[in-house]
Structure 1
Amino acid sequence: MRPSPKTSLVALFTADILSALGTRVSAVAIPWLVLLSTGSASKMGVIAAAEMLPYALTGVLAAPFADRFGHRRTSVVTDVGSALAMVAVILSPGSSFLHLALLVAAGGALRGIGDRVKHVMLRPLAEQCGVGMLRVASLYEGLSRGATLVGAPLGGLLIALLGTYGALWADAISFALCGLLVATLVVLPVEESAEAEAPVKEPYWTALRGGFSFLRGDQVLIGMMVMTFAINVFSQASGSVFTPLWVEEVVGSPVVLGLLFGGFAGGALLGNVIFTVYADRIPQYRAFLIGALVGGAPRLLTMGLSDQVWLVVSVSFLTGIANASLNPVIGATLYTRVPPALQTRVFGLMGALTFAGIPVGSLLGGWSVAWLGLRPALLTAGGLFLLATLIPVIQMYRRPLSIPKYGSPAQPKTEEAA
């Protein structure tokens, strides 16, 4: 019996969230395994990088292969491959660190392109169900954020209950379930399936260049990409350097650190619920503008100017609410601005370029505190963050944000789009 479009959409969402949970669990369990086996903190960092760097790169470099092979098939194969890579880790106790790093890198690479094609498949299924892409993007962001919040504690709980290898077995099973869900319950619309069965056999470098060419010709997407990169830079600097140092300097209690992170996360989840419910009634330009201006810089500026814990926690909560509107609007813009044939490549490219802001933020956060001191670094970062978020706001003020369908007169013309 052929699954209904609604069943396919729910199954795809479920598989995507399972994959996100599995990735977060492995991000806890594998470094813990390395710590137990080697006792080296530096090797823990290397193994984390061995997973996340291929994850980011394959979203770009493997996109032409996924377009040729078919998105649904790619999703199933990469999920099964991720499960097998995890089983290989489990069945190789006592192996060399290099061998473990290679297995972890293989799993990260497979999940990188697997998660990318799941994201791309949401559009045809949502349209078949008659659900607006802004609402879908908002729901996707909320579930992904929830999986990220739950995944790390779940990893620790599984290690405590089942042991490190037991947690890795649970991880492998989660990836296998993702592949099973997509293989049995996700059926793309006829035209998408036909396209996957008989894709245009475009040369690899031509296909890869098509994503770069399209993105280069779309100023709205470039502005959003710059802003998202800036958010990753300053959010990472805040989370990994500024906030812990502020808490240590002001109160010296890890409880307050949990309050700050929890306040922002709670606000983000609440904001996502609100935005999902009212997505169709909130002007997207206004939501994006508020999210850009309120969702980042005020938190840093408040820590730079105040020692009041209640004030900083409250501002963190409010910035979390505002921040919840950004990714859904960006996601909906991508879905409806980028032609389906280019979505895997453009999504992967934007994801990789914005992801690069995370390591940059860690480095800049530490260097700025070393050079300037904590308070000046916070105020400088807050001012730069505000300036960075104003770039797309000014751009959209001159040309209000719209989300035209690909191929419409408002869509930038490129050789690939044409």
Structure 2
Amino acid sequence: MDSELKLKKATYHLWTFTISKLIGSFGSQVYSFAISFYILQLTGSATNFAANLLCSILPRTLAGPFAGYVADNFPRKTIAITSQIAQTLAIGGLLTTSLTSGLSLPAIYIATCILSLTSTFSGVNFTSSITGLIDEARIQKAMSLNQMSISFAAIGSPVVGGLLYGTVSIPVFLILYMTASVIAVILESTMNFKLFANRKTNGEGKTKEPIWDSMKAGIAYLKLNPLITTIIWVALLVNFFFGAQQVGYSFVLIDKLKVESQHFGLTEGAFAVGMLVLSFYLSVRKEVKFPLLSSKRGIIALGLIMSGIALPLFIKMTYASIIVFYMILMFGFGALIIIVNTPIQVMLQKQIDDDYKGRVFSIIETMAQALSPLAMVIYGFLYDFIPAGWILIISASVLIGVVTILIRPSVVRKAHPEWREKEIVKGKIVTAKSE
């Protein structure tokens, strides 16, 4: 295909991919909003609500490695369309149930499990397909636009969901979600997943290796790439210590500072706005030159913000200043999440072999959330017995220490040989040689 035509097609992919993700994310989050309210109103039970969350998280965690195998061994366009059709059918099944016999908890739980599975296969597959859909020069823009679509959905879906929930029935929510899913199928069917792909067979015309052998090959590939292994360890430990923020933030604001629900929502909205603003910024600026260094600095800044959550527990502040303080804090938190994640994702897209992308990204995603349930349990216990402020400060300090050790200067120089760290040796500033 002519290079100019390929670039035009890539531009089409860039916006089609973004629109598809926006529609899908918006529909999914509005659905989640409605179903969550429905379960709580139907049963009044936090246990039933938590069970639906478990039906969303557990299948995603268990299916992650298999989704990577499928993405690396089968045509990625087929996987994308099949996953989206399965999602549409699952919503249609739940809609049929609601119209014929009424919604029940088992039906909701089954649908949630199926939707979680389809989104896992679709998500890993699309992450693995970026370099096949988009030219290398615009990978950062593609990742940023993808994050912008998620941020738009995070900001708008609670508003739309809240307005609709009081005026329309659950079947209407399901029809809207199913319509969004059908549009996504149509858009994805027009995309050429092989446009820039560098796969040996594009998942076709070869004998598929056994699934366990394929997974072992993926792990062996990781062992040959110590930088990716380091990123996995960082993701694992950082997400564990962020459990202090995930549990503690709501606990501090609602239980300790008695922040009202609508004001708490403002601080949560500031988080999504921060993500949106930085995603837009990265979509129009040049590619970050030293992604690993950028992520290291971003995580350290996140640690400082996490410790800052404790500040109103030690310093007396007015109610209005507390709300403004946390809105600024969460805006910064959302912005830094993008600074940490997007450059690293771009670097991984360029460095990982196309034939291993599915397995490697699935391992990274699985490991990133592997310790999160344990962190929730541990920190939930700690906040009942230890002052919240000290938990946040100590966890943030340990987080900063761990990242400083794992992403030490020698690791940064190996990842970015062109980077030179200035060191003071015997009272003189010299340029360190790359290792």
* TM-score greater than 0.5 by the shorter chain: yes
More off after superposition, 350-359 vs 281-290: 281-290
Task: Find the counterpart in structure 1 of residue 161 from structure 2.
Answer: 155
Task: Find the counterpart in structure 2 of residue 64 from structure 1.
Answer: 69
CA contact (8 A) 1:242 1:378 kept: no
**Structure 1 residues 264 and 49, CA gap change in structure 2 (3 angstroms):** same
CA contact (8 A) 1:124 1:189 kept: yes
**Structure 1 residues 263 and 40, CA gap change in structure 2 (3 angstroms):** closer
Query: What letter corresponds to residue 264 of structure 1 in structure 2?
Result: F
**Structure 1 residues 185 and 303, CA gap change in structure 2 (3 angstroms):** closer
Confirm whether residue 122 of structure 1 aligns to residue 130 of structure 2: yes
**Structure 1 residues 59 and 189, CA gap change in structure 2 (3 angstroms):** same
Unaligned runs of 5+ in 2: 419-435
Separation of aligned partners in 1, 2:122 and 2:67? 10
More off after superposition, 217-226 vs 339-348: 217-226
Aligned residue among 362, 385, 388 for 2:376: 362
CA contact (8 A) 1:57 1:109 kept: no
Task: Find the counterpart in structure 2 of residue 329 from structure 1.
Answer: 343
Task: Find the counterpart in structure 2 of residue 409 from structure 1.
Answer: none
CA contact (8 A) 1:302 1:312 kept: no
Overall identity of the aligned pairs, in %: 17
Task: Find the counterpart in structure 1 of residue 182 from structure 2.
Answer: 176
Unaligned runs of 5+ in 1: 405-418
Separation of aligned partners in 2, 1:96 and 1:322? 41
CA contact (8 A) 1:67 1:199 kept: no
**Structure 1 residues 8 and 198, CA gap change in structure 2 (3 angstroms):** farther
Aligned residue among 95, 99, 110 for 1:90: 95
Q: Give the 3-state SS of the residue equivalent to 1:197 in structure 2.
A: coil
Q: Give the 3-state SS of the residue equivalent to 2:114 in structure 1.
A: helix
CA contact (8 A) 1:120 1:344 kept: yes
* 1:350 CA displacement: 0.9
Q: Which has the larger radius of gyration?
A: 2
Separation of aligned partners in 2, 1:162 and 1:272? 33
Query: What letter corresponds to residue 328 of structure 2 in structure 1?
Result: S
Confirm whether residue 55 of structure 1 aligns to residue 69 of structure 2: no
**Structure 1 residues 58 and 368, CA gap change in structure 2 (3 angstroms):** same
Q: How many equivalent pairs are there?
A: 401
Matches within 5 A, 1:203-352: 203-246=210-253, 248-250=255-257, 252-280=259-287, 283-294=290-301, 296-306=302-312, 307=315, 308=317, 309=322, 310-352=324-366
Separation of aligned partners in 1, 2:206 and 2:150? 30
Separation of aligned partners in 2, 1:396 and 1:25? 46
Provide TM-score, normalisation by structure 1.
0.85
* 1:396 CA displacement: 5.4
Provide TM-score, normalisation by structure 2.
0.82
Q: Give the 3-state SS of the residue equivalent to 1:280 in structure 2.
A: coil
Query: What letter corresponds to residue 299 of structure 1 in structure 2?
Result: I
Separation of aligned partners in 1, 2:131 and 2:380? 40
CA contact (8 A) 2:143 2:342 kept: yes
Task: Find the counterpart in structure 2 of residue 25 from structure 1.
Answer: 30
Task: Find the counterpart in structure 2 of residue 110 from structure 1.
Answer: 118
* 1:88 CA displacement: 0.6
**TM-superposition CA deviations, 1:356-378 (whole Å, max 9, x none):** 34323322332221221212212
**Structure 1 residues 305 and 191, CA gap change in structure 2 (3 angstroms):** closer
Separation of aligned partners in 2, 1:354 and 1:304? 25
Q: Give the 3-state SS of the residue equivalent to 1:169 in structure 2.
A: helix
Separation of aligned partners in 2, 1:63 and 1:248? 41
